[in-house]
Structure 1
Amino acid sequence: MNKDQIVKYLQDNNIHKIKFAFADIDGVLRGKIIHTQKFIDGLDDGYGFCDVVFGWDSSDSCYDNVDLTGWHTGYPDRPCRIDVSTMRNIPWQNDIPFFIADFSKANGDDLHACPRSLLKCITKQCEDMGYHPEFAQEFEWFNFKETPQSLQDKSFTNIQPLTPGMFGYSVLRTSQQSDFYYALFNQLEKFDIPLEGLHTETGPGVYEAAILHDHVLAAADKAALLKTAVKEIAGAHGIMASFMAKWNESLPGCSGHIHQSLWDKNRTDNLFYSAGDTHNMSDLMKQYLAGQLYCLPHLLPMYAPTINSYKRLIEGAWAPTTITWGFDNRTAALRVLHPSKKYTRLETRIPGSDSNPYLAMSAALASGLYGIKNKLKLDVAPTAGNGYLDTKNGRLRSNLYDASMDMQKSAIAKELFGEGFVEHFTQTRLWECKQYAKHVTDWELKRYFEVI
């Protein structure tokens, strides 16, 4: 529906409130419920929203190292605009109308810290080059027999997974939680997040959901909404869902792989496919892949944004550690899938489930376009076999601090995303490192308290 149709729908159905939200720099949804009249009044000129949402971390602690906002600015309102094309109803909340917003102005002067605005900018570049970007993200997450209060009461110890044991692709485990399992699939469908598949992964209480592919902006919207939607649906069933990349050192981590391809503007021709190539890869796809390989060390925090992200990126844990690519190889960072013209695509396997979809997709698309613009040659041989041992093109950084320092100094990152975004984003990542560095962990207490 367009703006006028939405207003008529709200008035005809006597709807007095709507809900909207946007993703902050961590991908956390922030928003509110507003009266229908306020919604209508702001459709043209936008709404004021306190910019502290880009001035604090995921725990609402205010940054002391960013210029965008802070005590030095007084935390003013910034113009926030609702994208009416994102309307959907929340089926588990009495079908209240819901919209996605971002921090953009009518004149195109967007807030450089806004992840959705960044992706819109990269998407425009792609479309101006004549391509339609088709993307999808898939997520793994753990489910627990817990509540936020029970975790606080137990100080996040003795956390109880929803089901015991390692049982990937289990029909039995999902049937034992059938109310929750089918509620996820059915209610996400009604919320305009249709799933291609939903199943258990290996690990106690792990699910994996693959979202059906769509235009990159819509795909990122759906990915960002899925995480909060899953948590809300789980909560209604007395279950707590976590999208941490690695919650337990002895269990596999949780991925957030991104699938992507470029099509013609009519969405009829997959430009990554070439019947004349041995592996069905077009020259365009090879350039796109080369761009991702080249840019990867410069953009790693956009795929792996937390301290915890790097505890997933370890050898033998179904997550990459090297700058590699391969044909249907799950040990490589970039996996080429080429089964048919319709489904030839690239899977970027670095992101975990803790990634911000807008930033991860921005990184993937921008670096791929960089390869196309610069006609980069795919001169790195594909990995055959164990990608953990293939270090000819380098390794991924093993921690957030080093990855963030690389990005902060990178001319490539600034060329792709602008100095304003790179400076703000990397400072927020360095803030994460600072918060972690001053914390005394259980590991340190157990190791040093008595013995040292």
Structure 2
Amino acid sequence: MTPQQIAEYIQQNDVQKIRFAFADIDGVLRGKIIHRKKFLEGLEAGYGFCDVVFGWDIHDAPYDNVRLTGWHSGYPDTPTRIDLGTFRRIPWEDDLPFFLADFSRPDGPDLPACPRSLLKRIAAQCRDMGYHAEFAQEFEWFNFRETPQTLHEKGFRNPEPLTPGMFGYSILRPSLESAFHQDLFDLMAGFDIPLEGLHTETGPGVYEAALFHDEVVRAADKAVLFKTGVKEIAYRHGLVATFMAKWNADLPGCSGHIHQSLWDPENTRNLFYAPDRPNRMSELFEHYVAGQLHCLPQILPMFAPTINSYKRLVEGAWAPTTVTWAIGNRTTALRVLNDSEAHTRVEHRVAGSDSNPYLALAASLASGLYGIRNRLPLTIPPTEGNGYADLRNGRLPANLWEATQVMKTSELAADLFGTGFVEHFTATREWEWRQYARAVSDWELKRYFELV
């Protein structure tokens, strides 16, 4: 919609307030509700937002190790752009108008820390190379019969799951909470995030949803809004949803798999599909997969950004640990699906449900394009059988600190995303590790309190 069309909609529908939001470095949506007057004025003059949102962590503690902003800069306002193309209404908020924003600039460099701006830049590179990128993310998450207050009161220990037992793909379990289950499907559709599928996964109170594929930036927008939307809908049913990668050591982790393919500019022909070639993979597809495998160990924090992410990336937990690919194999980092042109794609299985969709999709696309630009050959043969045992191309870094140090010193990462982003992002991941290193865990208390 054009600014004039938006203004006419607001006037004709007597809209008094508008919500807008953007994703911070952790993928958390930050934003506000503003009056129609401020919104309409900003369509011409722009908006400002305090850049502390990129100067503090997921719990609003200011970083002491970043240069982008801080006490040294005084946390000034930074120009923010509302993307009118993201207009939608929030069904569970009386159809409140909503827009996504970012910190891209039409007449200068983008804010290096802005995840959406980074993805837009990578998507533009893809278009300049003559490709249309179709992406989709799918998520697993756990639901609990709790509120934020009860979780804090019990110290986040022993939350009550929505339903008991291991009921993957169950028809019975969703019927216990039919109103919540139906609201997820219907309200998301009303929020312009239609779900391709929604079902229970194996575990108490765990669901999985697959989003329809879309152009890569729109796909990331939908993924970010889906995660927050699930949490808001859950609140309205007296529930709390978590997208932690691994909330319980004895239960499966939660993935955020990324499905991706490249099409011709008109989006009519899948450029990955070649029925007469081995594995029905085009040469372009092979370069793309080779690029992803080559880059993956050097940009892992963009797929696994938290301490907890690496509790999921362990053997036998339906998450990869090795730099591998295969046809239809769920134990490898990359899984190729190629039964027809319409469905041919690569599924990136490393990304967890806790990933920032903008960064995870940017990392996926940029690494694939790297393989295409450099015509990297797919020299790694597809894994046969157990991907955990296939060590021909090495293992992934085992924790956030190790992965961050690799990315911090990677010339490839700086080439793909710019030194400004890499410097800021890896500093925030080092901060995250420092907070973890200071904490005394329940495991330490149980193991050492009495006996040492």
Q: Normalising TM by the smaller chain, what interval?
A: over 0.9
Letter of the structure 1 residue corresponding to residue 124 of structure 2: K
Name the counterpart of 2:360: 360
Q: Within 1, Cα distance between the matches of 2:262 and 2:56?
A: 36
Question: Can you give the 5+ residue segments of structure 2 that lack an aligned partner in the other structure?
Answer: none
Secondary structure of residue in 2 paired with 1:81: strand
CA distance, structure 2, for counterparts of residue 81 and residue 136 of structure 1: 25
Counterparts of 2:44 and 2:404, CA distance in 1: 38
Residues 360-419 of structure 1 show CA distances to partners (whole Å, capped at 9, x for unaligned) of 000000000000000000000100100000011000011000000000000000000000
Taking structure 1 as the reference length, what is the TM-score of the superposition? 0.99
Structure 1 gaps of 5+ residues are none
Alignment partner, residue 146 of structure 2: 146
Tell me the amino acid that sits aligned with residue 440 of structure 1: V
Q: Does 1:10 align with 2:13?
A: no
- Provide, for residues 18-61 of structure 1, a one-character-per-residue CA deviation record: whole Å limited to 9, x for no partner: 00000000000000000111111111332110000000000000
Number of the residue aligned with 2:110: 110
Q: For 1:282 and 1:106, how far apart are their aligned partners in 2? A: 36
2:84 alignment partner in structure 1:
84
Alpha-carbon distance between aligned partners in 1 of 2:5 and 2:47, rounded to the nearest angstrom = 20
Structure 1 equivalent of residue 300 of structure 2: 300
1:53 aligns with 2:53: yes
Looking at structure 2, the residues matched to 417 and 11 of structure 1 have their Cα atoms a distance apart, in angstroms, of: 41
Aligned to 1:404: 404
Aligned-residue offset at 1:2: 1.8
Partner of 2:446: 446
For residue 88 of structure 2, give the secondary structure of its aligned residue in structure 1.
strand
Q: CA–CA distance in 1 between the matches of 2:158 and 2:305? A: 26
Residue number in structure 1 paired with 2:416: 416
Amino acid at match of 2:99: F
Tell me how far 1:273 sits from its aligned partner. Answer: 0.3
User: Where has structure 1 moved over 3 Å in runs of 4 or more?
Assistant: none
Structure 2 counterpart SS, 1:279: helix
Identity rate, percent: 67
The match for 1:347 is 347
Alignment partner of 1:311 is 2:318: no
Structure 2 counterparts to residues 268-307 of structure 1, below 5 A: 268-307=268-307
Tell me which amino acid in the other structure corresponds to 1:383.
T
2:280 partner amino acid: N
Give the Å deviation of 1:106: 2.4
Instruction: Give the CA deviation at 1:324.
Output: 0.3
After TM superposition, give the deviation of residue 275 of structure 1 in Å.
1.3
Q: Aligned partners of 2:45, 2:433: CA distance in 1, in Å?
A: 38
SS at match of 1:366: helix
How many angstroms apart in 2 are the aligned matches of 1:194 and 1:272?
A: 25
Query: Residue 183 of structure 2 corresponds to which residue in structure 1?
Result: 183
1:234 corresponds in structure 2 to 234
Distance (Å, rounded) in 1 between the aligned partners of 2:190 and 2:309:
31
Alignment of 1:100 with 2:95, yes or no, is no
Aligned AA for 1:280? Answer: R
Counterpart CA distance in 2 for 1:106 and 1:292 is: 30
Measure the CA separation in 2 of the matches of 1:167 and 1:8: 49
Q: Which residue of 1 aligns with 2:386?
A: 386
Give me the whole-angstrom Cα distance separating, in 2, the residues matched to 1:165 and 1:430.
Answer: 37
User: Which whole-Å CA distance do the structure 2 matches of 1:38 and 1:276 have between them?
Assistant: 58
**Residue 309 of structure 1, CA deviation:** 0.1
- What residue identity is the alignment partner of 1:169? Y
Q: Which residue of 2 aligns with 1:168?
A: 168
Q: Does 1:208 align with 2:208?
A: yes
Which residue number in structure 2 is paired with residue 195 of structure 1? 195
SS for the counterpart of 1:198 is strand
C-alpha displacement at 1:109, in angstroms? 1.9
> What is residue 74 of structure 2 aligned with on the other side?
74
**Alpha-carbon distance in 1 for matches of 2:20, 2:32:** 6
Q: Give the CA deviation at 1:108.
A: 4.0
Correspondences of 1:233-272 after superposition (within 5 Å): 233-272=233-272
Partner SS for 1:42: helix
Structure 2: how far apart are the matches of 1:442 and 1:250? 16
| Code of the aligned partner of 2:183 | A
Partner of 1:220: 220
1:278 deviates by 3.1
Q: Secondary structure at the match of 2:241?
A: strand
> Superposition RMSD on alpha carbons, in Å?
0.6
- 1:327-346 alignment, distance < 5 Å: 327-346=327-346
Separation in 2 of the partners of 1:363 and 1:448? 41
The alignment partner of 1:44 has SS state of helix
Which amino acid is the alignment partner of residue 201 of structure 1?
A: E
Name the CA distance, whole Å, in 1 between partners of 2:173 and 2:44. Answer: 49
| Aligned length in residues | 452
Task: For residue 89 of structure 1, report the CA deviation from its aligned partner.
Answer: 0.1
Tell me which residue corresponds to 2:128: 128
Report the 3-state secondary structure (helix = DSSP H, G, I; strand = E; otherwise coil) of the residue aligned with 1:392. Answer: coil
